[in-house]
């Protein structure tokens, strides 16, 4: 026997209330079961075909209602945060951001940041914008574009750039040495950020006090020549490399120890 429309409405209204209650359930499967049960109740008053159709339809409807409710409840389009339990929310439904730096309190490692201060993903200021927060940056005010390490300091790449040989007890440059340094000067002028360190050495011959002074004079002869060729004085630095105590038992070994070693630093 076919149910009259009034009786159908009498059954469907309570079922719709039941399904709407699924919006508070956390599992979609509960809603589907509720919809299916409602379909069976309705089908009991109808034919077997109506029971199957009604049960399937109401089960799908219940699942959709639950899915919609779970989505709307769990995600705020304005605040796509997955906040942990206990997080405070403002009137818009967003996690509270007390210092208005764009990082909610539960993620902010540097609360109370002054207004309009650039911050990183953890809410900490990064004044030089090198990707390292000020509270751990050991090299503040790094120039833009400088590669830095995890401490915020420039990454220095040290590369050997050759050696300059000297005659016994001399610090003057040979023509061969000058020709080589001309190429070094060209490289330094083409790369203003590159720096060169010159380390002067001597062999073991002679008094140590004399040799220590000779080490620095040799290094300065190199850096002075580079500056004369137009290299910035800020790009070159002479150092006392010291007396080399190895390989002094032969004339050739001592000759090789009378040198200036060149190393470049690149950021």
Consecutive sets of 10 residues in the chain, 267 residues long: mean pLDDT of each? 49 46 42 47 48 45 42 49 72 73 74 72 75 80 78 80 95 96 94 93 94 96 98 96 93 95 85
Assigned token pair, 3: 């149910």
Q: Quick one: 181 and 229 in the same domain? A: yes
Q: Quick one: 177 and 249 in the same domain? A: yes
The residue range of the domain holding 91 is 78-124
Q: Quick one: 174 and 262 in the same domain? A: yes
Is residue 147 in some structural domain? no
Q: Quick one: 106 and 202 in the same domain? A: no
Summarize pLDDT for 40-93 with one digit per residue, the tens: 444 445 444 444 444 444 444 444 444 433 333 344 556 655 677 777 777 777
Last residue of a domain, one of 74, 93, 115: 74
In this prediction, residue 15 carries a pLDDT of 46
In this prediction, residue 139 carries a pLDDT of 87
Q: Quick one: 236 and 221 in the same domain? A: yes
DSSP state of 83: P
Q: What is the DSSP string of 217-252?
A: HHHHHHHHHHHHTT--GGGEEEEEEEE--SS-SSHH
CA distances from 162 to 45, 127, 196 (A): 98, 39, 11
For 80-194, strand residue ranges (E) read 157-165
Q: Give the residue ranges of DSSP H helices in 155-207.
A: 175-190
Q: Residues of 177-203 as b/e, b for ≥16 C-beta within 10 angstroms?
A: beebbeebbeebeeeeebbbbbbbbbb
Q: Quick one: 215 and 175 in the same domain? A: yes
Instruction: Report the CATH number that the domain containing residue 188 is assigned in CATH.
Output: 3.30.1330.60
In this prediction, residue 98 carries a pLDDT of 67
Is residue 85 in some structural domain? yes
In this prediction, residue 150 carries a pLDDT of 81
Number of domains the chain is built from: 3
């Amino acid at each position: 026997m076919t149910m009259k429309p009034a009786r159908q409405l009498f059954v469907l209204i309570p079922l719709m209330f039941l399904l709407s209650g699924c919006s508070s359930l956390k599992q979609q499967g509960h809603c589907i079961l509720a919809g299916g049960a409602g379909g069976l109740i309705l089908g009991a008053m109808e034919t077997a075909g109506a029971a199957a159709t009604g049960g399937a339809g109401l089960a799908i409807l219940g699942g959709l209602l639950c899915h919609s409710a779970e989505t709307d409840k769990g995600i705020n389009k304005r605040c796509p945060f997955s906040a942990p339990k206990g997080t405070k929310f403002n009137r818009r439904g967003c996690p509270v951001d007390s210092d208005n730096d764009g990082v909610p309190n539960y993620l902010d490692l540097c609360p109370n940041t002054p207004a309009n201060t650039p911050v990183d993903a953890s809410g900490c200021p990064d004044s030089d914008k090198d990707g390292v927060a000020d509270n751990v940056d050991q090299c503040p005010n790094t120039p833009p574009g400088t590669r830095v390490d995890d401490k915020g300091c420039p990454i220095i790449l040290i590369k050997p750039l050759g050696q300059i040989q000297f005659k016994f007890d001399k610090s003057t440059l040979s023509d061969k040495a000058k020709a080589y340094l001309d190429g070094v000067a060209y490289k330094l002028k083409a790369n203003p950020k590159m720096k060169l360190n010159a380390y002067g050495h001597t062999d073991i011959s002679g008094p140590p006090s004399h040799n220590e002074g000779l080490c620095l004079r040799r290094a300065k002869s190199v850096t002075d020549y580079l500056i004369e060729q137009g290299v910035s004085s800020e790009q070159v630095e002479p150092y006392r490399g010291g007396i080399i105590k190895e390989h002094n038992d032969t004339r050739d070994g001592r000759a090789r120890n009378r040198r200036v070693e060149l190393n470049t630093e690149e950021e």
